[in-house]
């Protein structure tokens, strides 16, 4: 049952991802991404990671996609870009390489499944408490480092905002 | 033990150059000069201490190796930063630091004005001393090295310092060109040096495990005949290197142009020390040379012919410093002649006396140049002895020593070489003797033209002024050396025959380095005859110059007329520059053009083949376009997939 | 678990850098400063940054002989990370000296610049210490994001923005592969710690694919071919101090982190990954050198040269021995001096016109010797060193690398590298010939003003390139003593 549900949802996620990449209208792309994110939220919940599922909906499906839509509308990016002649070959090459990539990773996953090996490391509980414990004890250092990462992004945003010298 | 502190001799100039490089332009003229002078002075004291330490060694020891640090240790082969202090290197460090110190002192005053006789910019003043200290450091590295690789380091280092100093007035095209010429010509010689070292590495590297002089010379004793045969090649390459650095045929052309540098540079680098590095290196390599008699002969002939050729060119030069430059080439020729005939001690002896009188002459020429606001043409001088009595006296002493005036230093050392030549080959002796005549003539010609007679340019003459004490007293010290330095090398036979209390000190000192080699000796009567004849020849040369330029006797004019067909050849320096241009430079240029276009074609092909994507970006940056970026991403993705396939299937 | 049980000491240098970054950042919002004072404040910030870097370097040197592992084994302080820290801090300090005067020509955002630079430094330092995948990834992202922004810092130039965008997009692409690789490894072993990964890996396709993807991320940062496409554009477009810094710092950190992964996490046989790296190395040096042959911009030439140099350094990883590691660390120091020195000289040859691509073209260097002999000599020394001419640092770096390769049985790779060195001599020498042998253009006859800070940076770099060559024996040996402690 769970497997069937997963496969069905996975198909949705996959189609949404393809739609997002191929869509020529940026607003459509963003909406496809929303679908994709939502399916991921369900995956998290199915994997017993309820907290992540909720955060996924609030942060990604909520905040980030809305932000994307705003930006797209502000800069008027909903009109598709002109295709260059190079693109057709790029597409073909990318498709072939993508297929090879999927094949290689698939090979790895298939081998793991065929040897009947359970995937290691699945968390026992994914609630707030478990995540909190992990973040503030074992993974304290990367958690703190992540704050530096955010700081770098923020400072970068500020620096980009400044007008250039002669416009000052 | 003094030798434990031997590294200090290198440290002082290194500190001096660092200080002036960092702070020189902030601390002003005085401090910069004091620091640079102090560095060399301390180095000189260290050299004296080392020489005294060496003389205090017990009889059977004559050399000390001081390991500074291991340098290259790789796969059983090692090259160390190590100093070899032995009689030969001790003479060299004394000359380098001693003469170097006097020239530094002179420079402190001399360099206060620039080439246009405007007050010198403090920055450039400090930079001059940075280069000078760098030169001292590198020269000491060269002569103290205990192996060929470190010697080569110093060899290139002095080349760099020389290059920077020749081009010191780099904004003058002539100076920049001269620097370039020196650089290129020396490159040929240095290439020979590098090849010789590589060849020695293949010959001895495995067996000796090192390229230190000791190891290589020790390996010679067990060398197979094939190795001994190869030594001729090695020594020929060393000779090529030496002809570049010491300005001998065929690579002498850079030295006259090098006079574009400031006069103290000419005195220090292009007369007293650096140019003698070739002589030093050959003398140091004497165990190799002894096994390659063909090379020895070639060295002797190159030396003799260079001496003759350069002396003959010097006769017609009118630029005071160029006369001295050709004279330097000629005197270096004598030293090569000495090495070639196996009279190593005589060669080193001449190197040492020459350092005194040639430095003296160049510095005196610098004083003249200052007094006349940069004028060096002796045709425009005349009568200067009244205006510049001190400089005149100093120049005269130097010129007489150079001319081989009996009992002055140049007389003894030149005769020692001529004696060696006499024992080996009469033609070489004849060439040497005739060159001595020319030497006496051109050196006194310079004196008479510049200092005697009537002023030929009243304006110049009126503005001439004697130099400050800072520039005169170092010259008196050099003049003292020019007169008396030869007493260290009085022929041993004199001591025996006349009952002098001292014999040939320098020969006794250097004996351990050239152990097993007998300096040429002849019967007392022969030796006396040689001495008298060369003294006589010098006097004839001096008289000829006197008759021609002071008395202006009619017969000298007719002699000149008789010899006038030679004049164009001499004035054009035997057209060597022109020949090089026609035979080497132009064909090389054509070849380079051919290769440039040809190579460009090949490179274009390769580049286009390898990375059409890379070159698509072109010279300017292409405007941001999705096409280009997706190519980049695609290439990245291709790499990912290839790596994946490799890892999964490996 | 309690906080005091964490060995904060081992992270002191990194903490100092982060703190300095915050201090520098805070000054951006303190008080209002007039236009003129801004430049002065910029200089003050540069001084603060330098002090922070110096303190961190001092702390690192004090810790040199104290290996420590902490934060639940997520970071490892050892000889490797200490030496890496020194390289990074050196590169950053030289970059600050270059930026001192350079920055004020196009921006007033000094505090943002220096704090981002420091954050990038911190990211690199953490990257070199991390022994756990999440820490590794986050550190990598810290340095990447900071550098993306620094690359596009010159807003007067389209090229700078373009470089930043390209670097960012491709970098994000590469980061994706790292995360995917990490996920596969986690899926395979149930842990993100290197030691657990090595112990629990199934050794199947999943493990191998995970390692392959991880390698991609590092290869991208090192700018190994074919993951190098961003490099010429980003290096040319970025402000030169940033280029100088990232060309050294990023490569160094990524190489050391890769070394750590290979030695402590990878369970695949040595032959497998060594051959992959050997081929990467071969491609990298060959493509880098060949592409550099035809460049007319010194900056772009140096960009390609730095690709090739990364190829040489990969040889140390291929060898995978003490000798190889020692040689690579030695080369990193040599490279820091000569490469930053070269970029420093290049930055002085750029035109002052900020509305156009400020490029150090070869034409600007024509006849430099007759205009500015010292600058020309310095650049020549860097070129000689990069080309590997004795007795400069670059020569010994190559010598040790090639020796390590031969020692580990990679004779063919050493031979390829030697051939590559010969090819590279062509374009390095071309710069020297242009400076010394050609007559200057009338248009470039003017003397360029050289700020004191740049002189200091160049002098330090020259001394480094010289002394590391002359003192090659002792410095290599001292690296050896520290590195031997590393468990293989």
**Is the CB of B170 less than 8 angstroms away from the CB of C473?**
no
pLDDT at C356: 52
Mean pLDDT of B132-142: 93
pLDDT at B226: 84
Q: What is the mean pLDDT of chain B?
A: 84
| Closest Cα in chain B to A82 | B626
pLDDT at A79: 57
Paired strand residues for B73: B78
Closest CA to B8 of B47, B34, B65: B47
Whether B578 has a pLDDT exceeding 90, the answer reads no
Distant-in-sequence, close-in-space partners of B509: CB < 8 Å, separation ≥ 6: B55, B87, B91
Please give the full DSSP string across B521-558, using - where no structure is assigned. Answer: ---HHHHHHHHHHHHHHHHHHHHHHHIIIII--HHHHH
Does this model's pTM top 0.80? My answer is: yes
Q: Which residue has the tokens 């102090």?
A: B38
For B13, B111, B122, the CA distances from B27, given in Å and listed in that order, are: 18, 16, 9
Whether residue C302 contacts residue C235, with contact meaning beta carbons closer than 8 Å, is answered with yes
Q: How far apart are CA B120 and CA B126, in angstroms?
A: 10
A162 touches C at CB < 8 Å: yes
Whether residue C229 contacts residue B632, with contact meaning beta carbons closer than 8 Å, is answered with yes
Residue A63 lies in domain: 9-79
Please give the full DSSP string across B204-265, using - where no structure is assigned. Answer: HHHHHSB-BHHHHHHHHHT--HHHHHHHHHHHHHHHHHHHHHTT-TTSTTHHHHGGGS-HHH
pLDDT at C443: 59
Does residue A70 lie within any of the structural domains?
yes
Please give the full DSSP string across B5-37, using - where no structure is assigned. Answer: GTTHHHHHHHHHHHHHHHHHHHHHHHHHHHHHH
Identify the domain boundary among A79, A108, A136: A79
Closest CA to C396 of B79, B232, B263: B79
For B107, C88, C350, the CA distances from C149, given in Å and listed in that order, are: 53, 19, 22
Whether residue C302 contacts residue C296, with contact meaning beta carbons closer than 8 Å, is answered with no
Whether residue C71 contacts residue C96, with contact meaning beta carbons closer than 8 Å, is answered with no
Q: Across the interface, which of C72, C115, C141 has its CB nearest the CB of A138?
A: C72
Q: How far apart are CA C46 and CA C275, in angstroms?
A: 44
If contacts are CB pairs under 8 Å, which of residues 250-309 in chain C contact chain A? Answer: none
pLDDT at C32: 66
* Same structural domain, A73 and A131: no
pLDDT at B424: 86
**Is the CB of C145 less than 8 angstroms away from the CB of A117?**
no
pLDDT at C338: 95
Mean pLDDT of B528-555: 86
Paired strand residues for B16: none
The dihedral formed by the CA atoms of C40, C46, C48 and C51, expressed in degrees to the nearest 10: -140
Percentage of residues of chain B with pLDDT beyond 90: 28
Collapsing DSSP states into helix, strand and coil, what is residue C70? strand
Whether B257 has a pLDDT exceeding 90, the answer reads no
Does residue A154 lie within any of the structural domains?
yes
Tens digit of each residue's pLDDT (9 = 90 or more) over B586-618: 776 676 666 555 555 555 555 554 444 444 443
| CATH number of A60's domain | 1.20.120.1200
Max CA separation in chain A (angstroms): 66
Closest CA to B434 of B345, B503, B537, B513: B537
For residue A163, which residues of chain C lie inside 8 Å, CB to CB?
A: 155
Distant-in-sequence, close-in-space partners of A46: CB < 8 Å, separation ≥ 6: A2, A5, A6
CA of B635 vs chain A CAs: smallest distance (Å): 10
Interface test mutation site (partner A, options B638, B639, B643, B649, max chain A beta carbons within 10 A)? B638
Other CB atoms within 10 Å distance of the CB of residue B562 = 9
Mean pLDDT of A149-153: 92
Low-confidence winner among B136-150, B373-387, C11-25, C61-75 (lowest mean pLDDT): C61-75
**Is the CB of B171 less than 8 angstroms away from the CB of C370?**
yes
Closest CA to C100 of C57, C35, C44, C24: C44
Query: At C108, which helix (H) or strand (E)?
Result: none
Identify the domain boundary among A79, A94, A110: A79
Closest CA to C338 of C461, C255, C456, C430: C461
Chains in contact with A, where contact means 3 or more Cβ–Cβ distances below 8 Å, are B, C
Angle between helices C240-264 and C205-222 in degrees, nearest 10: 160
Closest CA to B82 of B6, B133, B157: B6
Identify the domain boundary among A57, A79, A101: A79
CA of C451 vs chain B CAs: smallest distance (Å): 14
Does residue A99 lie within any of the structural domains?
no
| Closest Cα in chain C to A121 | C190
- Prior bond to A55 cis, omega within 30? no
Does residue A92 lie within any of the structural domains?
no
Interface test mutation site (partner B, options C161, C228, C267, C473, max chain B beta carbons within 10 A)? C473
Angle between helices B626-649 and C158-189 in degrees, nearest 10: 20
pLDDT at B613: 42
Q: Across the interface, which of C165, C177, C374 has its CB nearest the CB of B624?
A: C165
Mean pLDDT of B436-457: 88
Paired strand residues for B377: B319
Alpha helices, DSSP H only, in C152-269?
A: 158-189, 194-200, 205-222, 230-237, 240-264
| Closest Cα in chain A to B626 | A84
Closest CA to C311 of C417, C389, C188, C388: C417
Mean pLDDT of B425-429: 89
Query: At B69, which helix (H) or strand (E)?
Result: strand B64-74
For B60, B472, C335, the CA distances from B56, given in Å and listed in that order, are: 11, 35, 47
pLDDT at B225: 84
Give, for all 488 residues of chain C, the pLDDT tens digit: 555 567 777 889 999 999 999 999 888 777 666 666 778 888 889 999 999 999 999 999 888 777 776 777 788 888 888 999 999 999 999 999 999 888 887 787 888 899 999 999 999 999 999 999 999 999 999 999 999 999 988 877 778 888 888 899 999 999 999 999 999 898 888 888 998 888 888 878 888 889 999 999 999 999 998 888 889 889 988 999 999 999 999 999 999 999 999 888 887 788 888 999 999 999 999 888 888 887 888 888 999 999 999 999 999 999 988 889 999 999 999 999 999 999 999 888 886 655 455 567 787 888 887 778 888 889 999 999 999 888 899 999 999 999 999 989 999 999 999 988 988 888 898 888 888 777 776 655 455 678 888 989 999 999 999 999 888 888 888 887 767 665 54
Mean pLDDT of B455-466: 79
Q: How far apart are CA B29 and CA C138, in angstroms?
A: 55
pLDDT at B594: 62
**Is the CB of A90 less than 8 angstroms away from the CB of B634?**
yes
Q: How many domains does chain A have?
A: 2
Does residue A4 lie within any of the structural domains?
no
pLDDT at B622: 37
Mean pLDDT of A12-19: 92
If contacts are CB pairs under 8 Å, which of residues 100-119 in chain A contact chain B? Answer: 100-101, 104-105, 107-108
Interface test mutation site (partner A, options C6, C38, C74, max chain A beta carbons within 10 A)? C74
Does residue A111 lie within any of the structural domains?
no
Does residue A2 lie within any of the structural domains?
no
Tens digit of each residue's pLDDT (9 = 90 or more) over A35-86: 999 999 998 888 888 888 899 999 988 888 888 888 888 876 655 554 554 5
Does residue A121 lie within any of the structural domains?
no
Tens digit of each residue's pLDDT (9 = 90 or more) over B488-520: 877 777 766 666 666 677 777 888 888 767 666
C7 touches A at CB < 8 Å: no
**Is the CB of C134 less than 8 angstroms away from the CB of A105?**
no
């Amino acid at each position: 049952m769970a497997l069937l549900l997963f496969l069905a949802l996975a198909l949705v996620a996959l189609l949404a991802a393809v739609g997002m990449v191929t869509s020529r209208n940026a607003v459509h792309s963003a909406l496809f991404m929303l679908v994709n994110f939502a399916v991921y939220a369900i995956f998290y919940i199915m994997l017993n990671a309820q907290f992540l599922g909720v955060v996924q909906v609030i942060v990604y499906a909520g905040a980030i996609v809305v932000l994307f839509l705003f930006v797209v509308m502000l800069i008027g990016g909903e009109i598709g870009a002109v295709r260059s002649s190079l693109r057709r070959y790029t597409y073909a090459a990318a498709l072939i390489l993508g297929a090879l990539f999927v094949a290689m990773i698939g090979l790895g996953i298939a081998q793991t499944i065929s040897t009947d090996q359970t995937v290691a490391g699945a968390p026992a509980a994914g609630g707030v408490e478990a995540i909190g414990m992990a973040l503030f004890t074992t993974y304290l250092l990367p958690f703190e480092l992540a704050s530096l990462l955010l700081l770098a992004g923020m400072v970068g945003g500020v620096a980009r905002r400044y007008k250039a010298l002669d416009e000052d | 033990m003094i030798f434990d502190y031997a590294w200090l001799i290198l440290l002082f100039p290194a500190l001096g150059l660092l200080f002036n490089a960092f702070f020189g332009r902030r601390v002003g003229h005085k401090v910069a000069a004091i620091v640079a002078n102090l560095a060399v002075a301390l180095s000189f004291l260290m050299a004296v201490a080392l020489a005294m330490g060496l003389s205090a060694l017990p009889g059977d020891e004559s050399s000390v190796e001081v390991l500074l640090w291991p340098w290259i240790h790789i796969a059983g082969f090692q090259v160390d930063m190590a100093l070899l202090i032995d009689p030969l290197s001790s003479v060299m460090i004394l000359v380098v630091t001693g003469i170097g110190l006097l020239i530094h002192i002179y420079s402190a005053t001399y360099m206060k004005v620039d080439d246009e006789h405007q007050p010198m910019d403090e920055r450039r003043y400090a930079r001059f001393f940075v280069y000078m200290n760098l030169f001292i450091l590198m020269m000491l590295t060269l002569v103290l090295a205990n192996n060929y690789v470190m010697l080569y380091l110093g060899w290139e280092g002095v080349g760099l310092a020389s290059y920077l100093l020749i081009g010191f007035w780099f904004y003058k095209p002539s100076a920049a060109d001269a620097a370039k010429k020196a650089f290129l010509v020396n490159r040929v010689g240095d290439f020979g040096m590098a090849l010789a070292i590589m060849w020695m590495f293949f010959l001895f590297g495995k067996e000796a495990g090192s390229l230190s002089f000791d190891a290589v010379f020790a390996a010679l004793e067990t060398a197979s005949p094939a190795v001994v045969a190869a030594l001729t090649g090695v020594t020929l390459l060393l000779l090529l290197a030496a002809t570049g650095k010491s300005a001998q045929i065929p690579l002498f052309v850079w030295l006259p142009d090098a006079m574009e540098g400031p006069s103290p540079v000419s005195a220090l680098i292009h007369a007293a020390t650096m140019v003698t590095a070739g002589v030093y290196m050959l003398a140091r390599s004497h165990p190799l040379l002894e096994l390659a008699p063909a090379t020895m002969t070639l060295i002797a002939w190159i030396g003799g012919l260079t001496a003759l050729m350069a002396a003959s060119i010097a006769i017609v030069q009118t630029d005071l410093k160029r006369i001295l430059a050709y004279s330097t080439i000629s005197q270096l020729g004598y030293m090569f002649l000495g090495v070639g005939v196996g009279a190593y001690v005589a060669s080193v002896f001449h190197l040492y006396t020459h350092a005194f009188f040639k430095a003296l002459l160049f510095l005196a020429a610098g004083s003249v140049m200052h007094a006349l606001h940069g004028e060096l043409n002796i045709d425009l001088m005349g009568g200067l002895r009244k205006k510049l009595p001190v400089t005149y006296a100093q120049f005269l002493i130097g010129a007489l020593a150079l001319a081989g005036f009996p009992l002055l230093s140049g007389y003894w050392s030149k005769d020692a070489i001529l004696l060696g030549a006499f024992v080996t080959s009469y033609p070489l002796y004849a060439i040497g003797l005739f060159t001595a005549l020319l030497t006496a003539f051109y050196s006194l010609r310079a004196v008479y033209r510049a200092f005697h007679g009537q002023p030929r340019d009243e304006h110049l003459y009126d503005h001439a002024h004697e130099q400050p004490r800072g520039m005169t007293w170092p010259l008196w010290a050099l003049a003292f050396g020019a007169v008396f330095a030869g007493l260290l090398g009085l022929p041993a036979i004199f001591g025996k025959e006349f009952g002098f209390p001292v014999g040939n000190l320098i020969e006794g000192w250097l004996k351990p380095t050239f152990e097993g080699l007998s300096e040429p000796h002849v019967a007392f009567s022969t030796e006396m005859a040689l001495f008298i004849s060369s003294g006589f020849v010098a006097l004839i040369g001096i008289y000829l110059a006197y008759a021609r330029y002071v008395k202006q006797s009619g017969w000298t004019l007719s002699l000149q007329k008789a010899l006038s067909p030679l004049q164009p050849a001499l004035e054009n320096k035997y057209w060597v520059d022109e020949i090089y241009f026609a035979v080497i430079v132009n064909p090389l240029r054509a070849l380079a053009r051919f290769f440039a276009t040809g190579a460009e074609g090949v490179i274009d092909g390769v580049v286009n083949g390898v990375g059409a994507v890379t070159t698509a970006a072109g010279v300017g940056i292409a405007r941001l376009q999705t096409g280009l970026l997706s190519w980049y991403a695609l290439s990245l993705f291709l790499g990912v997939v290839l790596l994946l396939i490799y890892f999964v299937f490996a | 678990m309690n906080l005091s049980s964490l060995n904060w000491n081992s992270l002191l240098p990194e903490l100092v850098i982060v703190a300095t970054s915050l201090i520098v950042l805070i000054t951006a919002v303190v008080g209002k400063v007039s236009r003129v004072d801004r430049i002065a404040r910029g200089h003050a910030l540069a001084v603060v940054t330098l002090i922070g870097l110096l303190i961190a370097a001092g702390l690192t040197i004090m810790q040199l002989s104290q290996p420590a592992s902490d934060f639940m084994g997520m970071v490892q302080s050892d000889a490797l990370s200490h030496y890496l820290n020194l390289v990074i801090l050196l590169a950053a300090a030289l970059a600050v000296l270059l930026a001192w005067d350079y920055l004020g020509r196009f921006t007033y955002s000094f505090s943002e610049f220096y704090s981002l630079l420091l954050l990038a430094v911190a990211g690199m330092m953490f990257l070199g210490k991390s022994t756990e995948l999440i820490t590794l990834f986050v550190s990598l992202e810290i340095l990447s994001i900071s550098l993306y922004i620094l690359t596009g810092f010159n807003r007067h130039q389209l090229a700078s923005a373009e470089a930043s965008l390209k670097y960012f997009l491709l970098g994000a692409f590469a980061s994706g592969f790292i995360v995917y690789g990490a996920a596969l490894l986690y899926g395979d072993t149930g842990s993100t710690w290197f030691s657990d990964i090595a112990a629990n890996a199934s050794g199947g396709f999943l493990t191998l694919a995970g390692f392959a993807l991880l390698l991609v991320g590092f290869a991208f940062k090192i700018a190994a071919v074919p993951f190098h496409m961003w490099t010429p554009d980003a290096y040319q477009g970025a402000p030169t101090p940033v280029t100088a810094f990232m060309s050294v710092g990023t490569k160094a950190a990524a190489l050391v982190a890769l070394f750590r992964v290979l030695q402590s996490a990878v369970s695949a046989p040595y032959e497998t990954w060594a051959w992959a790296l050997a081929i990467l190395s071969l491609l990298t040096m060959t493509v880098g050198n060949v592409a550099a042959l035809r460049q007319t911009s010194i900056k772009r030439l140096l960009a390609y040269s730095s690709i090739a140099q990364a190829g040489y350094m990969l040889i140390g990883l291929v060898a995978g021995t003490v000798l190889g590691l020692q040689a690579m660390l030695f080369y990193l120091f040599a490279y820091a001096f000569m490469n930053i020195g070269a970029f420093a000289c290049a930055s002085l040859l750029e035109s002052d016109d900020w509305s156009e691509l400020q490029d150090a073209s070869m034409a600007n260097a024509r006849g430099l010797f007759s205009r500015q002999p010292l600058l020309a000599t310095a650049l020549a020394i860097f070129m000689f060193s990069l080309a590997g001419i004795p007795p400069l640092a670059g020569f010994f770096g190559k010598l040790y690398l090639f020796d390590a390769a031969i020692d580990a049985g990679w004779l063919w790779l050493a031979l390829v590298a030697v051939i590559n060195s010969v090819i590279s001599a062509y374009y390095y020498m071309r710069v020297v010939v242009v400076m010394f042998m050609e007559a200057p253009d009338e248009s470039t006859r003017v003397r360029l003003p050289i700020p004191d800070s740049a002189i200091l940076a160049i002098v330090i770099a020259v001394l480094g390139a010289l002394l590391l060559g002359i003192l090659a024996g002792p410095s290599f040996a001292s690296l050896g003593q520290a590195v031997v402690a590393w468990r293989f």
